[in-house]
Amino acid sequence: MTTKPELKTGSHLLPGLAAVVLFVTMAAAILQASFGDPQGFGPDAPITASIGYAMFNLDMATIPGEGMLVAFEIIDAVLVAALVAAVLLARREQDGSVVALLTDGGREVRDRLSGVDTDADDGGDR
């Protein structure tokens, strides 16, 4: 006999409830925030020079900018370095040489993913 689905209650619902509360809090904060009117640049404004002055926190810029631009660039460089490190760590090596996952060197991985028993001797060379 078929029964109706029932909601399984318990403490495992707590992370979901916390996520909903966090979403509602962030939505309320964003909807109540006020931002200034956007400002454009003049047709002859030296934007590139002003960015350079802002990077070194100099007051010679004709366009006002933030003095924290260098911190932004440092964070950018650190994130790029982390991405490169993640790619280097994800590479697979076999017998001292780099092996791509989906090339002939990745046959063991493909066989393992497809369920083929690589330990069984089938009498032939691979």
pLDDT digit string, tens, across residues 25-41: 999 999 998 877 777 77
Give me the pLDDT at residue 82, please. Answer: 96
Q: Quick check: 67 and 45 in contact, CB under 8 A? A: no
Does this model's pTM top 0.75? My answer is no
pLDDT digit string, tens, across residues 70-125: 778 889 999 999 999 988 887 766 676 766 655 555 566 666 667 666 555 555 55
